[in-house]
Amino acid sequence: MPKYFQIGGNIADDENRDKARSMKLVVATEDDQIVNVEVDPGTEVENLKAILQAETDVPTGDQLLMAGGKVVQSGTLSGNGLGDNDVVMLIKKQAAGASAGAGASGGNPLAVNPSDGSAVNPGEYIRFLKGDAAQLSQIAQVLPELHGAVMRDDQAEFQKIMRVLHQKKMEQEARRKAEIDLLNADPFDMEAQRKIQEMIDQSNVNENYEMAMENTPEAFGSVVMLYVDMQVNGHPLKAFVDSGAQMTIMSLGCAQRLGLERLIDKRWQGVAKGVGTQKIIGRVHQAPIKVADQHLACAITVLEKEQDMDFLLGLDMLKRHQCCIDLEKNELRIGSAGVSLPFLGEADLPVHARPQNFEEQPPTPTPVGGGAGAGAAPDAAGGNDAKIAKLMELGFPKEQCEQALSAAGGNEEHAAAILFGG
């Protein structure tokens, strides 16, 4: 007998039982559209695709559904392991296939399938990671299970971990979208609108950061300053070439070491202004310098305080000697002398001019009981807390941010790169 003819039955109880059996799914599309669907666990996958076709205009035949890093097969939703409030990714089959094909043909070892985050060519990906010692070290600290799969050449485990990481990222994005939808429920709530704008701005920043990491990763590296070897008053010296400085300068200590102090004309005292201010002791009107095998005359302004750089070749001498900074050939051409000086490599720079790497950074003090070093620990910890807070604003959990910051040696930008790189 149909339930609506049942004598003595309670139609409201039947409806409540139907609601108890229903479940909600959050479906995220490639174009960041979020669709909330309420269905029965016994609903066929094809019926869910029909519902999504009406919501997203993606034909059922072109739909590829992903959940938990796996493709949702035909059958019932419960049979595929889907439960209440699960996140499902909806991907167009043509887009997924085209992207995977482009990655494979382009020869990019880091190409991944946008559908599930797995590597297009896991063998090449693993070989690439093994060839990058720095990145492999970071992976070992942040994702030891992924590091183990790489070292074992276990492609199956590697792909599994990649899919899980991709799924987590998609779930975080879906939750962020759901939060925006919740805040949008009251369009006249100014605080909610402010939070929405903050989230949108941060999303744009994250997207711009990821694009930069993918297209111009060299922009996140350190730049080696321009130094050349020369002799001043018969003494070898590494000169810093700075076309942004108006005059050629030298520290008083350097002038004393080179025997030029007696030639300083103190009538040329004054104040040098730049990022800060420095007192000018005077000027050496003509100091003998030697570049390659040529001898030149150089006017040098002497500053009172000791500088990080002993000798800076400024724009006055660069113009006087018709110098050309050739970055393509990595050399300084001195037109008046007809010679070229190669810019020094990183290993040949003065210690203070070398880019700081992880080994050269002082370790973060850790307070252990008391002792003389305990006083410096709160400042370091406070600095790390601020960095972790900024990293958490990118949408990553605190524990993961702490691990990434530790792997990056305290460098906030490198830690963000580790987090976005998975």
Integer-rounded Cα radius of gyration of the chain = 32
Long-range contacts of range 214-220, CB-CB < 8 Å, 24 or more positions apart?
A: 220/413, 220/414, 220/417
CA distances 299 to 165, 288, 368, Å, are 61, 9, 55
Query: Residue 154: which of 202, 109, 108, 122 has the closest Cα?
Result: 122
- Per the CB < 8 A criterion, the answer to whether 154 and 147 are in contact is no
Q: Which of 62, 242, 316, 348 is catalytic?
A: 242
Positions of E strands within 252-380: 270-273, 277-291, 294-303, 311-313, 323-326, 331-334, 339-342
Distance of CA 33 to the CA centre of its chain: 26
Q: How far apart are CA 330 and CA 341, in angstroms?
A: 9
CA distances 204 to 131, 196, 200, 395, 404, Å, are 32, 12, 6, 13, 22
- Per the CB < 8 A criterion, the answer to whether 12 and 4 are in contact is no
End-to-end CA distance of the chain: 57
Distance of CA 398 to the CA centre of its chain: 17
For residues 215, 220, 224 and 225, what is the CA-based torsion angle, rounded to 10 degrees?
100
Enter the DSSP assignment of 355.
Answer: P
What is the number of other CB atoms lying within 10 angstroms of the CB of residue 154?
A: 15
Query: Residue 264: which of 238, 216, 299, 288 has the closest Cα?
Result: 299
CA distances 152 to 70, 133, 140, 201, 382, Å, are 24, 16, 13, 41, 39
- Per the CB < 8 A criterion, the answer to whether 110 and 125 are in contact is yes
Phi-psi region of 49 (alpha: psi -120 to 50; beta: other; left: phi over 0): alpha
Is 242 noted as a catalytic residue in this protein? yes
Long-range contacts of range 417-420, CB-CB < 8 Å, 24 or more positions apart?
A: 417/213, 417/220, 418/138, 418/142, 419/391, 419/394, 420/206, 420/209, 420/210, 420/213, 420/394
DSSP-derived 3-state class of residue 221: coil
Active site residues: 242
